[in-house]
Structure 1
């Protein structure tokens, strides 16, 4: 896998997902990061997740790959060269405790193998992305289905906001948020990430 420089993630970017967790709908993008050690590329393998820190929830997302440093006036096609599908795995019980104490989410979001992505595909353009649903199947059953049309903050808003607060450059990736339907992972669950009806990546989860 090519070198990824920074991993940015957008929280609560789908209204129904925010509501299903009882969270307020944000008025500006809610950004957090993951360390690069959390990144794992799907190749049909078994991926180990922590089994002794409470529930591990799956959150399927569209992931964009940044092609160049941000400049005002740049188009999406200039800023994004590739897309993938990913899962932002979250230690939900750990996150709940962190939120109670107003602590950062890193322990809940940044563990090894918490950022799973499929191989990247060329960016097909915004219109195609808005016409194509992405989905997550677990053990052959659909668990999540989403479309970036339903995001609270669109792709360019996310890119601009990330640049303004952190900087943004070639090789950075952004997990753009998850739709409703998140839930706990079970030992042995088989995950398939689909773009339309095409499987882009598969793996099996096991607890260590």
Structure 2
């Protein structure tokens, strides 16, 4: 196939123990998936209906590269999350078959321009500018399911400049991985290469230029980054 202009490079994530990379198709995110985080944001917990939003595939930052502080904000916040990478997709995926779609797991940051989000919420506007900006999704390498299984418990944490900011067990998620995949597939046709951010625990806070962040999903993977 020929193109009228130069095609953009496909965003891709390194895979532990492999020279191959995982090509990213779409990035789906779930909001308010930890009760304590919903509480700190002044929001109610919807246990019957998950809330989803998206980021562009090319919002990822990989290989522990520096993360540029975004424009148009004075209140950049960190949100550490377990991420799930899909090798298979489909529509209306049954919960009992959802984990069969998973390629692997990692850890990432859902960076948020909190001031823009607050302004959008106040006016009943979409959050796109607050969530889907350039470099808003730093991610670790991925670990394959055959190497780590499907983690159902484990500590998810974030340190900023050596100080613990966020910490929870992934078992505290309101919607687990299978439920998230099932619910997403009712709204979109999922595809190989899709990446899912599974929600953040309490403790979100501001980041400054030159901050160093360390995200960790115990026993699985770690991520280091610097805000520049």
TM-score if structure 1 supplies the norm length?
A: 0.91
Unaligned runs of 5+ in 1: none
| Greater share of residues in strand | 1
C-alpha separation in 2, matches of 1:63 and 1:199: 11
1:78 corresponds to 2:100: yes
Contact 2:98 2:181 in 1 (8 A): no
How many residues are treated as equivalent by the alignment? 203
1:125 corresponds to 2:149: yes
- The 1:150/1:47 distance shift into structure 2, 3 A limit, reads same
What's the offset of the Cα at 1:54?
2.2
The 10-residue stretch of structure 1 (109-118 or 50-59) with the greater mean CA deviation from structure 2:
50-59
User: Is the partner of 1:202 in helix, strand or coil?
Assistant: strand
C-alpha separation in 1, matches of 2:27 and 2:227: 22
Which residue is equivalent to 1:63? 83
TM-score if structure 2 supplies the norm length?
A: 0.83
- Superposed, 1:1-208 pairs within 5 Å as 1=12, 2-27=22-47, 28-43=49-64, 45-50=65-70, 52-70=72-90, 71-72=93-94, 75-123=97-145, 124-126=148-150, 129-196=151-218, 200-206=222-228
Q: What is the CA deviation profile of residues 8-52 of structure 1, one whole-angstrom value per residue up to 9, with x for unaligned ones? A: 000000000000111111231100001122111142x32102254
What's the offset of the Cα at 1:198?
6.9
- Greater Rg over alpha carbons, structure: 2
CA RMSD of aligned residues (A): 1.7
C-alpha separation in 2, matches of 1:20 and 1:89: 17
What's the offset of the Cα at 1:179?
0.4
Which residue is equivalent to 2:5? none
What's the offset of the Cα at 1:125?
2.8
